Structure 1
């Protein structure tokens, strides 16, 4: 490995390799050796940048959560445009891309990882899905304030319903992801009692 490579570049190279292993072989195959082999680097490179493999996995998940949080302004900027169902479908398609589903499977596969990420974030629930639900809740609240959802719409219940339902549609790694029409139909069904117009 060349010297002088920036730490962030090495981290990203290792994170991307971990995602490829997850996508191809699932969470049970994710080991430090699998990651370094996939990245094409010596085994010691990972341990030079992370205290251990547990820290590597924790930082991988935290990094992917941070990326998800960057999408919040984009969804909130859609308030009042298109339809609520169309906006949520686009957001759910984005967050449930194959990498996000793989990260969620890793989090649910490893109890210790889930506990470390929860502790680092000071949050409950399944990391990544909890943050996605919070973004959707903010969006639904804004649409309710605008009058595009019924005044009594329970956004605290609707948001996890949307996340859970979408996750079930995408959870099978071996199947093709659902088309946008399937996802939009699910979103419309969840919102059927509260959407206006």
Structure 2
């Protein structure tokens, strides 16, 4: 998402050439491939544990911190390895995002017209909101002590970082298209018109 934004603002004349089907496939494949070692390390760490408590997990999916709560063997070393690897991946992604947005803001500030700067800047806040939501909730979920929050808060945070960002991506990209904006405006106006329409009882 950030790379798409970077190319659209910093290299707009080459956008069609750079962001072709092959580039999109490569980016999706790199995201999937980078997830393989992460899931392998986490799964291997969980299989190395012994569980002596109940089998009820206080979550709507088997999240690693929830499984660690019901483990009775010492998982400190495994947690350190997994956390270190996730921090390494996360910090690399975060650094890429920061560098990309620094380049985006430098390019936008060099745009001579105020209208052009406003148009370019207006595409940035939705991306930054989704990224911030993902990072903040993910950090809260995985780096907080096990006993520092209620199970209800854990479920809410898990929903925020696992469901909301993927749902927001197509919304953000759709709202950039004039046709979608026009259709949404027309639908909203029709709903409001029908709601506020006063019936005529004189007939």
Q: TM-score, normalised by structure 1?
A: 0.32
Question: Greater helix percent: which structure?
Answer: 2
Q: TM-score, normalised by structure 2?
A: 0.31
Q: Which structure's CA Rg is the greater one?
A: 2
